[in-house]
């Protein structure tokens, strides 16, 4: 964690994080204009933040956009802070929430983590039902993993595979996988305590898309997850980013995936689950 704390020690870098927290997904030009800093200074500070994995980048067309990355904060919470009284760590929890929050105008979730595995093994973990069931809370995903193929969900080991309307957008084995996301289901209303009117409103949200980019990184693999195309002020965005109470979202799921691949066992289910 030394790189994270060193990166946060500089006030200019904290200003960059504040700027991205206020409006995530900015280009280098936008960051320079917003902070009244030279392009060279901003580039140097961004390099430090990227090295600490506090900032990650994703391309949209010809632009490279910079996003806050919550992975280091989750690593602190999951692998270090549990040794102490969590009530004394509210500041870190607040920081994690801030890093995952997106503005209403363009909600987009970007998360980068490094896993000591191979691209082939990670691809298996993302696409094979026996793998997904272990870290996805018992859910098995099945698909032919070709463009337009359905992505089917099985909630119970002996249950039927259900088509929730998800479709594969892109599948390049060991490098890139993309598929559309499901909408809310009736069981979500019961879990989150929504009224029938609230569920109906959330069923009107447009479908989003999640993309997994896989790249070798020394003896590890760099996994970047980009989940986007949400409706403005999307409740689904809050769910997948872990901002809804009771939902760990992608941060929790990816931490479990990483632990499974590196240790052979996923994270234990949280006490509040279900």
3-state SS string for 164-184: EEEEEEEEECCCEEEEECCCC
Domains of the chain and CATH, by start = 2-100 (1.10.10.10), 109-263 (3.30.530.20)
What average pLDDT does the chain have? Answer: 84
pLDDT at 86: 47
At residue 220, the 3 state secondary structure works out as: strand
Tokens of 49: 């933040």
Tokens of 240: 């997948």
Separation CA 103–CA 219 (nearest Å): 36
Q: Which of the listed ranges 95-104, 149-158, 185-194 does the model predict with the highest average pLDDT?
A: 149-158
Q: Is the pLDDT of residue 31 over 50?
A: yes
Separation CA 87–CA 93 (nearest Å): 10
> Using one digit for the tens of pLDDT, what is the confidence trace for 39-87?
888 899 999 988 888 888 887 777 888 888 867 766 655 555 554 444 4
Write down the pTM of the prediction: 0.70
| Helix intervals (H) in the chain | 2-9, 11-22, 28-35, 39-51, 71-79, 90-100, 119-127, 129-135, 186-192, 196-202, 235-240, 249-263
At residue 154, the 3 state secondary structure works out as: strand
Q: Is the pLDDT of residue 112 over 60?
A: yes
> Using one digit for the tens of pLDDT, what is the confidence trace for 114-130?
999 999 999 999 999 99
> Using one digit for the tens of pLDDT, what is the confidence trace for 228-270?
999 988 999 999 988 887 788 999 999 999 999 999 998 876 5
């Amino acid at each position: 964690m030394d790189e994270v704390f060193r990166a946060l020690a500089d006030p200019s870098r904290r200003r960059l994080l504040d700027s991205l927290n206020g409006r995530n997904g900015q280009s280098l030009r936008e960051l320079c204009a917003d902070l009244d800093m030279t392009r060279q200074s901003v580039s140097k500070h961004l390099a430090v933040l990227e090295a600490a994995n506090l900032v990650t980048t994703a391309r949209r067309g010809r632009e490279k956009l910079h996003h806050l990355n919550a992975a280091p904060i989750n690593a602190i919470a999951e692998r270090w802070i549990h040794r102490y009284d969590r009530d004394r760590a509210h500041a870190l929890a607040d920081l994690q929430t801030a890093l995952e929050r997106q503005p209403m105008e363009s909600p987009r979730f970007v998360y980068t983590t490094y896993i000591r595995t191979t691209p082939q093994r990670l691809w298996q973990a993302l696409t094979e039902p026996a793998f997904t069931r272990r870290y996805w809370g018992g859910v098995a995903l099945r698909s032919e993993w070709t463009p337009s193929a359905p992505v089917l969900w099985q909630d119970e080991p002996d249950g039927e595979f259900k088509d929730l309307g998800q479709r594969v957008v892109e599948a390049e084995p060991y490098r890139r996988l993309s598929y559309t996301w499901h909408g809310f289901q009736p069981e979500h209303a019961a879990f989150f305590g929504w009224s029938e009117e609230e569920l109906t409103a959330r069923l009107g949200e447009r479908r989003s898309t999640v993309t997994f980019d896989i790249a070798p990184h020394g003896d590890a693999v760099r996994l970047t997850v980009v989940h986007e195309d949400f409706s403005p002020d999307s409740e689904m965005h809050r769910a997948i980013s872990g901002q809804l109470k009771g939902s760990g979202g992608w941060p929790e799921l990816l931490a479990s995936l990483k632990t499974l691949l590196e240790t052979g066992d996923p994270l234990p289910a949280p006490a509040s689950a279900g």
